[in-house]
Chains A and B, each alone.
Chain A
Amino acid sequence: MILVSYYGIALSIILVGAGTYGLLNSKNIIRILLSSEIILNSSILFVFSLSSLIGKVYNPIIFSVFAIGMALTEVVVAFASIILYYRVKGSLEVE
């Protein structure tokens, strides 16, 4: 269904805006990480919406599986860095 694909693209653009706003408007390091996760989700939705529009099936699934796996790794590494930051600075705020 073509109309849903266009709606998906529009939704992903709105989510990019929300994620960018969260990235720019926060000093908390965890909020920044969560905002980047919003942008990741919107980019995955964008890939699928675009692929459903042009009739691709396998490439978006494979790329998104790799992207989600790497996102899991990235979150854990980022969280370890945040814990180190918290031990050194005693707060979660970015200066």
Chain B
Amino acid sequence: MYQIAEALQLTLFSIFAISSVAASIFIVSSKNVFYSAISLAILGISIAADIALLDPSSYSIYSVFHVLLYVGATVVFLSVSLVMFRGLDVREVRISWAPVVSLIVVAFVFVAVLASLSNVPPVEPKPVNLVVLAQDVLNTYWFPAFILIVGLLTTLVEAIALARRE
């Protein structure tokens, strides 16, 4: 039974991984950025699903947050606001060294991760306790939380100003 659940978890993770890679390729290659923004929503949902599948008992709470705040607010704001522009088609640019630089970046990150993970013993995470999480935010990380609230209020004011075309 445990092996079936593990296989199912791995299969679902692979499906959402393929979906996220396809969405990211579509974002960088689509000729219309409106469709790229829609594809960013698919990427956000796939990443949220992958995070939840990493450890469902611990990270599913963040996964819900990712879908609600990132996909529900950021991507929808981006997609709706793009309607304000005309001529959203992207001019094709061929930079011959761009794929080479991207591959170098991927190789560099891969080597850095491999080097840093070589001495790390794997440990299974414990299930998340919401009371501990809330106490951690309110006691230890209260100042970043305050900055975040101020930032989100600023965003609200700015969105209203954009809507009024000021």
Contact = CB atoms under 8 A, between A and B. Distances in A.
A binds B: yes
Given A25-B93, A61-B61, A68-B65, A31 B28 contact: yes
A17 to B, nearest CB: 4
Contacts of A51: 125
**Which of A51, A68, A77, A93 has most chain B Cβ within 10 Å?**
A68
Contacts of B162: 76, 79-80, 83
Nearest to B153: A73
User: What's the interface size class on B, roughly?
Assistant: 35 or more
Nearest to B106: A17
B166 to A, nearest CB: 10
Interface string B83-103: 011011011011101110111
User: What's the interface size class on A, roughly?
Assistant: 35 or more
Interface in B138-164: 141, 144-145, 148, 151-152, 154-155, 158-159, 161-162
A27 B95 CA distance: 10
B36 A73 contact: no
A57 B154 contact: no
Given A7-B17, A57-B126, A83-B84, A31 B36 contact: yes
A16 B162 CA distance: 31
Contact of A52 (B58, B90, B109): B58
Nearest to B57: A57
B21 A14 contact: yes
